[in-house]
Protein backbone atom coordinates (compact mmCIF):
# COMPACT_ATOMS: atom_id res chain seq x y z
CA UNK A 1 0.00 0.00 0.00
CA UNK A 2 2.85 2.36 0.85
CA UNK A 3 4.57 1.58 -2.45
CA UNK A 4 1.33 2.14 -4.34
CA UNK A 5 0.92 5.57 -2.75
CA UNK A 6 4.55 6.37 -3.57
CA UNK A 7 4.08 5.40 -7.22
CA UNK A 8 0.82 7.35 -7.43
CA UNK A 9 2.42 10.43 -5.87
CA UNK A 10 5.33 10.27 -8.34
CA UNK A 11 3.00 10.00 -11.35
CA UNK A 12 0.73 12.80 -10.12
CA UNK A 13 3.72 15.09 -9.55
CA UNK A 14 5.04 14.43 -13.04
CA UNK A 15 1.56 14.93 -14.54
CA UNK A 16 1.13 18.25 -12.72
CA UNK A 17 4.53 19.44 -13.96
CA UNK A 18 3.76 18.46 -17.57
CA UNK A 19 0.35 20.13 -17.35
CA UNK A 20 1.89 23.39 -16.11
CA UNK A 21 4.43 23.39 -18.95
CA UNK A 22 1.80 22.63 -21.61
CA UNK A 23 -0.59 25.18 -20.13
CA UNK A 24 2.07 27.89 -20.18
CA UNK A 25 2.95 27.07 -23.80
CA UNK A 26 -0.65 27.08 -25.05
CA UNK A 27 -1.55 30.19 -23.05
CA UNK A 28 1.36 32.04 -24.63
CA UNK A 29 0.21 30.93 -28.08
CA UNK A 30 -3.34 32.09 -27.28
CA UNK A 31 -1.94 35.41 -26.07
CA UNK A 32 -0.13 35.95 -29.38
CA UNK A 33 -3.34 35.10 -31.25
CA UNK A 34 -5.45 37.51 -29.18
CA UNK A 35 -2.97 40.34 -29.82
CA UNK A 36 -4.28 40.41 -33.41
CA UNK A 37 -7.60 41.75 -32.02
CA UNK A 38 -5.98 44.28 -29.66
CA UNK A 39 -7.68 47.65 -30.10
CA UNK A 40 -10.76 46.17 -31.74
CA UNK A 41 -13.55 48.14 -30.10
CA UNK A 42 -12.61 48.41 -26.42
CA UNK A 43 -10.56 45.20 -26.43
CA UNK A 44 -7.47 46.13 -24.43
CA UNK A 45 -4.62 44.22 -22.78
CA UNK A 46 -6.55 43.89 -19.52
CA UNK A 47 -9.44 42.26 -21.39
CA UNK A 48 -7.05 39.84 -23.09
CA UNK A 49 -5.52 38.84 -19.75
CA UNK A 50 -8.97 38.36 -18.21
CA UNK A 51 -10.08 36.28 -21.20
CA UNK A 52 -6.98 34.07 -21.02
CA UNK A 53 -7.31 33.59 -17.25
CA UNK A 54 -10.93 32.50 -17.58
CA UNK A 55 -10.03 30.22 -20.50
CA UNK A 56 -7.49 28.23 -18.47
CA UNK A 57 -9.99 25.60 -17.24
CA UNK A 58 -10.83 24.92 -20.89
CA UNK A 59 -7.15 24.43 -21.72
CA UNK A 60 -6.57 22.22 -18.68
CA UNK A 61 -9.54 20.08 -19.70
CA UNK A 62 -8.26 19.73 -23.26
CA UNK A 63 -4.65 19.02 -22.28
CA UNK A 64 -5.37 16.60 -19.44
CA UNK A 65 -5.25 13.34 -21.50
CA UNK A 66 -1.90 14.23 -23.09
CA UNK A 67 -0.51 15.49 -19.77
CA UNK A 68 -1.69 12.27 -18.09
CA UNK A 69 0.15 10.12 -20.63
CA UNK A 70 3.36 12.17 -20.56
CA UNK A 71 3.29 12.50 -16.78
CA UNK A 72 2.80 8.76 -16.33
CA UNK A 73 5.57 7.91 -18.78
CA UNK A 74 7.95 10.38 -17.13
CA UNK A 75 7.00 9.33 -13.60
CA UNK A 76 7.32 5.60 -14.19
CA UNK A 77 10.34 6.20 -16.41
CA UNK A 78 12.08 8.09 -13.60
CA UNK A 79 11.39 5.23 -11.20
CA UNK A 80 12.72 2.76 -13.78
CA UNK A 81 15.88 4.78 -14.52
CA UNK A 82 16.66 4.94 -10.81
CA UNK A 83 16.14 1.16 -10.57
CA UNK A 84 13.32 1.65 -8.09
CA UNK A 85 10.90 -0.41 -10.17
CA UNK A 86 13.52 -3.15 -10.43
CA UNK A 87 13.89 -3.15 -6.65
CA UNK A 88 10.12 -3.27 -6.22
CA UNK A 89 9.79 -6.26 -8.53
CA UNK A 90 12.70 -7.99 -6.82
CA UNK A 91 10.86 -7.47 -3.52
CA UNK A 92 7.85 -9.30 -4.91
CA UNK A 93 5.80 -6.38 -6.28
CA UNK A 94 4.18 -7.54 -9.51
CA UNK A 95 3.29 -5.56 -12.61
CA UNK A 96 -0.33 -6.04 -11.55
CA UNK A 97 0.36 -4.29 -8.23
CA UNK A 98 2.08 -1.42 -10.02
CA UNK A 99 -0.86 -1.21 -12.41
CA UNK A 100 -3.19 -0.82 -9.42
CA UNK A 101 -1.20 2.25 -8.34
CA UNK A 102 -1.48 3.63 -11.85
CA UNK A 103 -5.24 3.01 -11.84
CA UNK A 104 -5.47 5.01 -8.59
CA UNK A 105 -3.97 7.95 -10.47
CA UNK A 106 -6.40 7.34 -13.33
CA UNK A 107 -9.34 7.49 -10.91
CA UNK A 108 -8.07 10.76 -9.42
CA UNK A 109 -7.63 12.30 -12.86
CA UNK A 110 -11.15 11.19 -13.85
CA UNK A 111 -12.57 13.07 -10.85
CA UNK A 112 -10.47 16.14 -11.69
CA UNK A 113 -11.65 16.03 -15.31
CA UNK A 114 -15.29 15.82 -14.19
CA UNK A 115 -14.94 18.77 -11.81
CA UNK A 116 -13.20 20.95 -14.39
CA UNK A 117 -15.40 19.93 -17.31
CA UNK A 118 -18.80 20.05 -15.60
CA UNK A 119 -18.35 22.66 -12.86
CA UNK A 120 -15.59 25.12 -13.71
CA UNK A 121 -15.31 25.13 -17.49
CA UNK A 122 -18.93 26.01 -18.42
CA UNK A 123 -19.02 29.01 -16.07
CA UNK A 124 -15.56 30.39 -16.84
CA UNK A 125 -15.76 29.86 -20.60
CA UNK A 126 -19.14 31.58 -20.91
CA UNK A 127 -17.82 34.48 -18.85
CA UNK A 128 -14.68 34.64 -21.01
CA UNK A 129 -16.78 34.82 -24.18
CA UNK A 130 -18.96 37.55 -22.65
CA UNK A 131 -15.90 39.66 -21.76
CA UNK A 132 -14.44 39.22 -25.23
CA UNK A 133 -17.72 39.99 -27.03
CA UNK A 134 -18.59 42.98 -24.83
CA UNK A 135 -15.13 44.52 -25.26
CA UNK A 136 -14.96 43.98 -29.02
CA UNK A 137 -18.53 44.93 -29.93
CA UNK A 138 -19.46 47.32 -27.12
CA UNK A 139 -22.73 45.45 -26.44
CA UNK A 140 -23.69 43.26 -23.50
CA UNK A 141 -26.06 41.03 -25.45
CA UNK A 142 -25.13 37.99 -27.47
CA UNK A 143 -26.14 38.27 -31.07
CA UNK A 144 -25.23 37.34 -34.62
CA UNK A 145 -25.84 39.15 -37.89
CA UNK A 146 -29.19 37.41 -38.34
CA UNK A 147 -30.16 36.76 -34.71
CA UNK A 148 -31.23 33.34 -33.44
CA UNK A 149 -33.95 31.02 -34.68
CA UNK A 150 -35.65 28.38 -32.54
CA UNK A 151 -38.63 26.10 -33.01
CA UNK A 152 -41.23 25.34 -30.34
CA UNK A 153 -43.97 23.08 -31.70
CA UNK A 154 -45.80 25.01 -34.42
CA UNK A 155 -44.09 28.25 -33.37
CA UNK A 156 -40.93 29.51 -35.05
CA UNK A 157 -39.17 32.15 -32.98
CA UNK A 158 -36.63 34.75 -34.06
CA UNK A 159 -34.64 36.49 -31.32
CA UNK A 160 -32.44 39.42 -32.27
CA UNK A 161 -30.43 39.64 -29.07
CA UNK A 162 -29.99 37.64 -25.84
CA UNK A 163 -28.80 39.60 -22.80
CA UNK A 164 -26.67 38.29 -19.95
CA UNK A 165 -29.55 38.47 -17.50
CA UNK A 166 -31.69 36.22 -19.73
CA UNK A 167 -33.78 38.94 -21.38
CA UNK A 168 -34.64 38.71 -25.06
CA UNK A 169 -34.72 41.76 -27.28
CA UNK A 170 -36.42 42.01 -30.66
CA UNK A 171 -38.67 38.92 -30.69
CA UNK A 172 -40.78 37.66 -33.58
CA UNK A 173 -43.00 34.59 -33.18
CA UNK A 174 -44.46 32.95 -36.27
CA UNK A 175 -47.35 30.59 -35.49
CA UNK A 176 -48.54 28.02 -38.06
CA UNK A 177 -51.66 25.85 -38.03
CA UNK A 178 -51.85 22.09 -38.57
CA UNK A 179 -51.89 22.64 -42.33
CA UNK A 180 -48.61 24.59 -42.16
CA UNK A 181 -50.26 27.93 -42.92
CA UNK A 182 -49.05 31.07 -41.20
CA UNK A 183 -51.79 32.31 -38.86
CA UNK A 184 -50.27 34.67 -36.29
CA UNK A 185 -47.18 36.87 -36.27
CA UNK A 186 -46.24 38.32 -32.90
CA UNK A 187 -43.61 41.03 -32.49
CA UNK A 188 -42.34 42.25 -29.13
CA UNK A 189 -39.67 44.71 -28.13
CA UNK A 190 -38.55 42.65 -25.13
CA UNK A 191 -39.23 39.39 -23.28
CA UNK A 192 -38.58 38.64 -19.60
CA UNK A 193 -38.76 35.24 -17.91
CA UNK A 194 -41.09 35.26 -14.87
CA UNK A 195 -42.75 32.34 -13.05
CA UNK A 196 -41.90 29.78 -15.76
CA UNK A 197 -43.48 31.97 -18.47
CA UNK A 198 -42.26 34.74 -20.72
CA UNK A 199 -43.65 38.24 -20.36
CA UNK A 200 -43.68 40.08 -23.70
CA UNK A 201 -43.50 43.90 -23.66
CA UNK A 202 -44.80 46.29 -26.34
CA UNK A 203 -46.50 43.58 -28.35
CA UNK A 204 -47.93 43.82 -31.87
CA UNK A 205 -49.89 40.79 -33.13
CA UNK A 206 -51.03 40.21 -36.70
CA UNK A 207 -53.79 37.61 -37.22
CA UNK A 208 -53.96 36.26 -40.75
CA UNK A 209 -56.80 34.46 -42.49
CA UNK A 210 -57.88 33.99 -46.10
CA UNK A 211 -59.56 37.41 -46.33
CA UNK A 212 -57.77 39.90 -44.12
CA UNK A 213 -55.09 40.71 -41.60
CA UNK A 214 -56.13 41.94 -38.17
CA UNK A 215 -53.56 43.85 -36.13
CA UNK A 216 -53.71 44.20 -32.35
CA UNK A 217 -51.42 46.12 -30.05
CA UNK A 218 -51.04 45.39 -26.33
CA UNK A 219 -48.62 46.61 -23.71
CA UNK A 220 -47.96 43.18 -22.22
CA UNK A 221 -48.72 39.55 -23.06
CA UNK A 222 -47.73 36.12 -21.78
CA UNK A 223 -45.82 33.73 -23.99
CA UNK A 224 -45.84 30.05 -23.06
CA UNK A 225 -42.73 28.32 -24.38
CA UNK A 226 -40.45 25.45 -23.42
CA UNK A 227 -37.52 27.81 -23.86
CA UNK A 228 -35.86 29.23 -20.77
CA UNK A 229 -32.85 31.54 -20.31
CA UNK A 230 -30.55 28.69 -19.32
CA UNK A 231 -31.51 26.67 -22.40
CA UNK A 232 -30.64 29.58 -24.70
CA UNK A 233 -27.04 29.39 -23.47
CA UNK A 234 -26.83 26.25 -25.60
CA UNK A 235 -27.60 28.37 -28.66
CA UNK A 236 -25.02 31.06 -28.03
CA UNK A 237 -22.27 28.88 -26.50
CA UNK A 238 -20.53 26.01 -28.34
CA UNK A 239 -21.88 22.62 -27.17
CA UNK A 240 -18.52 21.45 -25.85
CA UNK A 241 -18.49 24.32 -23.33
CA UNK A 242 -21.78 23.29 -21.71
CA UNK A 243 -22.40 20.97 -18.73
CA UNK A 244 -23.90 17.56 -19.41
CA UNK A 245 -27.28 18.40 -17.86
CA UNK A 246 -27.74 21.40 -20.18
CA UNK A 247 -27.00 19.22 -23.18
CA UNK A 248 -29.50 16.59 -22.02
CA UNK A 249 -32.20 19.25 -21.61
CA UNK A 250 -31.57 20.79 -25.01
CA UNK A 251 -31.39 17.42 -26.80
CA UNK A 252 -34.81 16.59 -25.33
CA UNK A 253 -36.13 19.94 -26.55
CA UNK A 254 -34.79 19.38 -30.07
CA UNK A 255 -36.19 15.84 -30.25
CA UNK A 256 -39.62 17.10 -29.21
CA UNK A 257 -39.52 19.58 -32.07
CA UNK A 258 -38.14 17.03 -34.57
CA UNK A 259 -34.84 18.83 -35.09
CA UNK A 260 -31.34 17.48 -35.64
CA UNK A 261 -29.59 16.47 -32.41
CA UNK A 262 -26.41 14.78 -33.71
CA UNK A 263 -24.06 17.65 -32.86
CA UNK A 264 -25.33 17.94 -29.30
CA UNK A 265 -25.43 14.18 -28.74
CA UNK A 266 -21.81 13.98 -29.93
CA UNK A 267 -20.85 16.76 -27.50
CA UNK A 268 -22.65 14.87 -24.71
CA UNK A 269 -20.84 11.58 -25.36
CA UNK A 270 -17.51 13.35 -25.83
CA UNK A 271 -17.86 14.84 -22.35
CA UNK A 272 -18.79 11.44 -20.95
CA UNK A 273 -15.70 9.85 -22.54
CA UNK A 274 -13.25 12.62 -21.63
CA UNK A 275 -12.48 11.36 -18.09
CA UNK A 276 -12.22 7.80 -19.43
CA UNK A 277 -9.74 9.00 -22.08
CA UNK A 278 -7.53 10.52 -19.37
CA UNK A 279 -7.59 7.22 -17.47
CA UNK A 280 -6.69 5.24 -20.62
CA UNK A 281 -3.74 7.55 -21.29
CA UNK A 282 -2.41 6.86 -17.80
CA UNK A 283 -2.93 3.13 -18.24
CA UNK A 284 -0.94 3.13 -21.52
CA UNK A 285 2.20 4.16 -19.65
CA UNK A 286 2.48 0.78 -17.87
CA UNK A 287 3.07 -1.45 -20.92
CA UNK A 288 5.34 1.20 -22.40
CA UNK A 289 7.63 1.19 -19.37
CA UNK A 290 7.69 -2.58 -18.86
CA UNK A 291 7.45 -3.42 -22.53
CA UNK A 292 9.13 -1.82 -25.55
CA UNK A 293 10.37 1.28 -23.68
CA UNK A 294 11.97 -0.43 -20.68
CA UNK A 295 15.53 0.14 -22.02
CA UNK A 296 14.84 3.45 -23.78
CA UNK A 297 16.34 6.69 -22.36
CA UNK A 298 13.91 9.18 -20.79
CA UNK A 299 14.07 11.44 -23.85
CA UNK A 300 12.92 8.60 -26.06
CA UNK A 301 10.07 7.82 -23.69
CA UNK A 302 8.90 11.42 -23.75
CA UNK A 303 9.05 11.46 -27.54
CA UNK A 304 6.96 8.29 -27.79
CA UNK A 305 4.51 9.69 -25.24
CA UNK A 306 4.15 12.89 -27.26
CA UNK A 307 3.59 10.95 -30.48
CA UNK A 308 1.01 8.66 -28.89
CA UNK A 309 -0.76 11.61 -27.25
CA UNK A 310 -0.86 13.59 -30.50
CA UNK A 311 -1.96 10.47 -32.38
CA UNK A 312 -4.84 9.91 -29.97
CA UNK A 313 -5.92 13.56 -30.12
CA UNK A 314 -5.88 13.65 -33.94
CA UNK A 315 -7.64 10.29 -34.26
CA UNK A 316 -10.26 11.30 -31.70
CA UNK A 317 -11.02 14.68 -33.30
CA UNK A 318 -10.96 13.35 -36.86
CA UNK A 319 -13.22 10.40 -36.12
CA UNK A 320 -15.74 12.60 -34.33
CA UNK A 321 -15.97 14.99 -37.29
CA UNK A 322 -16.20 12.07 -39.71
CA UNK A 323 -18.94 10.63 -37.52
CA UNK A 324 -21.01 13.79 -37.96
CA UNK A 325 -20.46 13.83 -41.72
CA UNK A 326 -21.19 10.14 -42.33
CA UNK A 327 -23.94 9.71 -39.73
CA UNK A 328 -22.06 7.43 -37.31
CA UNK A 329 -23.86 6.89 -34.00
CA UNK A 330 -22.75 9.72 -31.67
CA UNK A 331 -21.81 7.40 -28.80
CA UNK A 332 -19.67 5.30 -31.15
CA UNK A 333 -17.97 8.33 -32.75
CA UNK A 334 -17.07 9.67 -29.30
CA UNK A 335 -15.94 6.40 -27.72
CA UNK A 336 -14.26 4.32 -30.45
CA UNK A 337 -10.82 6.08 -30.37
CA UNK A 338 -10.67 5.64 -26.58
CA UNK A 339 -11.63 1.97 -26.81
CA UNK A 340 -9.05 1.39 -29.58
CA UNK A 341 -6.22 2.83 -27.48
CA UNK A 342 -7.45 0.95 -24.41
CA UNK A 343 -7.36 -2.27 -26.45
CA UNK A 344 -3.81 -1.50 -27.55
CA UNK A 345 -2.81 -0.95 -23.93
CA UNK A 346 -4.40 -4.22 -22.77
CA UNK A 347 -2.74 -6.14 -25.62
CA UNK A 348 0.69 -4.70 -24.80
CA UNK A 349 0.23 -5.31 -21.06
CA UNK A 350 -0.56 -9.00 -21.66
CA UNK A 351 2.78 -9.37 -23.46
CA UNK A 352 4.69 -8.02 -20.46
CA UNK A 353 6.32 -10.77 -18.41
The pLDDT of residue 237 is 62
Distances 151 to 141, 165, 206, 255 between C-alpha atoms, Å: 21, 22, 19, 11
Per-residue b or e along 155-177, where b marks 16 or more CB atoms closer than 10 Å to that residue's CB: bbbebebbbeeebbbbbbbbbee
* Segment 296-308, tens digit of pLDDT: 666 676 677 778 8
Q: Give the Å distances, CA to CA, from 7 to 91, 98, 138, 195, 312.
A: 15, 8, 52, 54, 25
Domains of the chain are 2-138+263-350 (no CATH), 154-225 (2.60.450.10)
CB distance 182 to 174 below 8 Å: yes
Please give the average per-residue pLDDT across 307-312, as a whole number. Answer: 81
pLDDT tens-digit series, residues 220-253: 888 877 777 666 655 556 676 677 877 787 788 7
Percent of the chain with pLDDT over 90: 8
Q: What pLDDT, in 10s, does the model give residues 118-127?
A: 888 888 887 8
Amino acid sequence: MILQRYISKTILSSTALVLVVLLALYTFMDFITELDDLGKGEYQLSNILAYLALSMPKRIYELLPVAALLGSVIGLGTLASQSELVAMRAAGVSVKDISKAVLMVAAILMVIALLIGEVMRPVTEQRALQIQTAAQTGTEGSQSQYGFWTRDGNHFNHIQRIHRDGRFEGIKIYEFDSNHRLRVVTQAKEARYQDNDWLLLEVVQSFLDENEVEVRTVERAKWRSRLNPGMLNVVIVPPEFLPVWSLVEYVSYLKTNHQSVSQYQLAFWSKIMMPVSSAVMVFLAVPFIFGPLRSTPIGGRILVGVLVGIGFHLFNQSFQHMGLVFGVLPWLAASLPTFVFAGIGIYMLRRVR
